[in-house]
Structure 1
């Protein structure tokens, strides 16, 4: 009798969960290293945020083009190819001796991360136990958790050892090669379906019944994701240049403060009605960013970190509630296109405002840029609250269909924080 070389279902599920967090942690590693590269290669904030932003563009492109490919060719082939592509990205970081190499590394990493995010996420839903459907929560919590681990870990390396980039990317390159080999042990959880070539055509579509919810949620999506982009790109520079803390670990911890508490926000309000989670989350984001503005005026690092914690909590709740509201009642044939529309808004907000902030920081300074950025985020969050309350007053609900009374965390499954 032949012995199976595939992992059993439960072991495969948790292996995929670990791989997902690991891959997303790798996406956070460059953030504390941007300042190191800045000093080594001599570029300004505008170039820094361009290096950051091009990753988000590549990731979005990958999500839209190959996001559904594993439904047709199987999960394992996509995982193996994408993990090897991650290893190539790490090798490019290792070889980097200028801005061009960094841009190439981030493009390749973005392409690999987009393919892995969709395929690993689908694998979790495939492999989860019917009586213990943890895949939804892991999918929604892992981006914030992974990014936080990567940023904090890289900050610790920068602060502790002489060649942090070589250690970080060298180890990750080896790990991703082993991850590709490990994917061979995973059971194939998706049948191969025809239409692989057609699946590469991006689908972005908001069905008419869901357009009101989508339009109302756009200001909140932009507020949350643009704030995440600012922290991930210029957060360590803010800590060093504005608050005078020349410690790379502290810069990484600021990213952890925002993204780590985003996981807590999504967990705390996972059973709340989606529209309520949106309103509460938006108000908490506005309050947290107002605290950040106060921290800038007082040059208070403790207030900066406390405000990031508050903002992150609201971020997690607001984004999960927004996605749940937008997608409530959508049929399976339109789900992928609707989620693609959400992520197009999200990743454009994650990258474009951050790039603009980097250019602005070169002209008017990082403090003034962050103040204007923060005020804009507060205004967007409050506009979203007003729009939601007005829509509910006139129509009773902004969702396409009323939310049932008995809601579960699985309703929030499609939502993910930026990674």
Structure 2
């Protein structure tokens, strides 16, 4: 999974609790800058969210879980992530960034702890994935915003306007890639592969409870009045351009990811043999790496009048899915990796273009909430492999994937037509 260089913000302009001098006194002169403390917390949260992806093949072969159940492990993550995305920002505006981020770290430890007991039964994996999803939702909604706030005056006067977004994006991408890499390599060659990756994640997460406590708060506690759930209303979510352009296109971002590096490795086991976990790890890291590398260029492609970035993204995902079909048919490892490159390009373009659309549609009051809705709808794409596995008992996998390719092409046409009819002015 890859973050974009425009991270979600949680609420109106932050009210920092200290002057520049006070902020500097919080840490000794030799210590890391304030933003780096939260950068690490987002890194380990992202690590925990994506460490499971390359292990699907291990659970299907080693634990003899059904393909439907294995892919449900991947998709249930969304059921933890989406509520956290929609609620965590509101709670951090009211109670401060620190307590909500600490709750996210607790969720990370609980999630990995449950996953480490996955050998005892699938319920541990399902509930553990729910907690892992909630962790990533908090990191995206609160941690990324906190990094941005600490990457400006008075905490970092030397930073430029885009420093916070770039730092948040790097934390998320490197964390996601590192989690997949460590877990995949241990699963292939390490001892107790069902346990050790998660124990390592717990070990690297625990120090950040102390580190986050030392970070400066950027949201004044109790600054908002009235029931917190009133902040969840997002008028811009009903804007016609958001509904007919963004919502139509953004689920394809993670449909591509889920199929290319989540589902494909389970279909190439005949070609990969004993190297299946290495392939799954390489596919995940490759897609995320390409997505991250392409993001700085992606912002130049999108146009607010034509939404060409989102339209091109859907076409790239369609092409990647078509390559997946051929890779499965021919049992081609090389084509499978190439499909992940194409999907990675689509992910990077879709995330950047989608947030550009969100920023042009939302007013200042709705920006945080609409960003959360965008991510929640986009991550719904991770549910698709479970659907494919369930339907595969009635139709060939290649045929199901070709139907997805056709639906993607239809979505690309709808995006093009709707983007011309509905301009991005705030509604």
With normalisation by structure 1, the TM-score equals 0.84
| 1:185-264 alignment runs, 5 A limit | 185-195=214-224, 198-200=227-229, 203=232, 205-207=234-236, 210-241=239-270, 244=273, 246-264=275-293
> Which residue among 366, 373, 390 is the counterpart of 1:359?
390
Q: CA deviation at 1:201?
A: 5.8
How far apart, CA to CA, are the structure 1 residues paired with 2:136 and 2:391? Answer: 29
How far apart, CA to CA, are the structure 2 residues paired with 1:343 and 1:119? Answer: 13
Change (3 A) 1:235 1:125: same
Deviations 1:234-276 (A, max 9, x none): 2431332565464312111111222221112322222333423
How far apart, CA to CA, are the structure 2 residues paired with 1:117 and 1:247? Answer: 31
Note if 1:55 corresponds to 2:77.
yes
* Cα RMSD for the two superposed structures: 2.9
Change (3 A) 1:138 1:302: same
How far apart, CA to CA, are the structure 1 residues paired with 2:347 and 2:404? Answer: 12
Q: Is the 8 A contact 2:255 2:381 kept in 1?
A: yes
How far apart, CA to CA, are the structure 1 residues paired with 2:150 and 2:413? Answer: 41
Q: Is the 8 A contact 2:101 2:139 kept in 1?
A: yes
How far apart, CA to CA, are the structure 2 residues paired with 1:246 and 1:219? Answer: 37
SS of equivalent residue, structure 1 residue 192? coil
Q: CA deviation at 1:204?
A: 5.5
Change (3 A) 1:29 1:122: same
Change (3 A) 1:134 1:332: same
Change (3 A) 1:131 1:267: closer
Q: Is the 8 A contact 2:271 2:333 kept in 1?
A: no
Match in the other structure for 2:336: 304
How far apart, CA to CA, are the structure 2 residues paired with 1:7 and 1:84? Answer: 27
Match in the other structure for 1:295: 327
Note if 1:150 corresponds to 2:171.
no
Note if 1:265 corresponds to 2:294.
yes
How far apart, CA to CA, are the structure 2 residues paired with 1:379 and 1:206? Answer: 32
Note if 1:386 corresponds to 2:413.
yes
Q: CA deviation at 1:156?
A: 0.9
Q: Which sections of structure 1, spanning at least 5 residues, go unmatched?
A: 402-419
Q: CA deviation at 1:50?
A: 1.7
Match in the other structure for 1:411: none
SS of equivalent residue, structure 1 residue 6? coil
SS of equivalent residue, structure 1 residue 114? helix
Note if 1:92 corresponds to 2:121.
no
Q: CA deviation at 1:64?
A: 1.8
Deviations 1:119-140 (A, max 9, x none): 1111111011352522223444
Match in the other structure for 2:368: 336
Q: Is the 8 A contact 2:112 2:199 kept in 1?
A: yes
Change (3 A) 1:167 1:202: farther
Change (3 A) 1:192 1:126: same
Note if 1:110 corresponds to 2:133.
yes
Q: Is the 8 A contact 1:76 1:183 kept in 2?
A: yes
How far apart, CA to CA, are the structure 2 residues paired with 1:95 and 1:245? Answer: 24
Q: CA deviation at 1:375?
A: 2.4
Match in the other structure for 1:122: 145
SS of equivalent residue, structure 1 residue 332? coil
SS of equivalent residue, structure 2 residue 27? coil
Deviations 1:185-226 (A, max 9, x none): 211122223447733467253538832243123332122222
SS of equivalent residue, structure 1 residue 190? coil
How far apart, CA to CA, are the structure 2 residues paired with 1:373 and 1:400? Answer: 38
Note if 1:20 corresponds to 2:20.
no
Match in the other structure for 1:33: 55
Deviates more, 1:301-310 or 1:244-253: 244-253
Match in the other structure for 1:135: 164
Deviates more, 1:137-146 or 1:286-295: 137-146
The count of corresponding residues between Structure 1 and Structure 2 is 394
Deviations 1:71-122 (A, max 9, x none): 1211122222221231122222223311111122112222233223211111
Q: Is the 8 A contact 1:210 1:326 kept in 2?
A: no
Q: Is the 8 A contact 1:226 1:349 kept in 2?
A: yes
Change (3 A) 1:264 1:145: same
Change (3 A) 1:185 1:86: same
How far apart, CA to CA, are the structure 2 residues paired with 1:242 and 1:167? Answer: 27
Match in the other structure for 2:27: 6
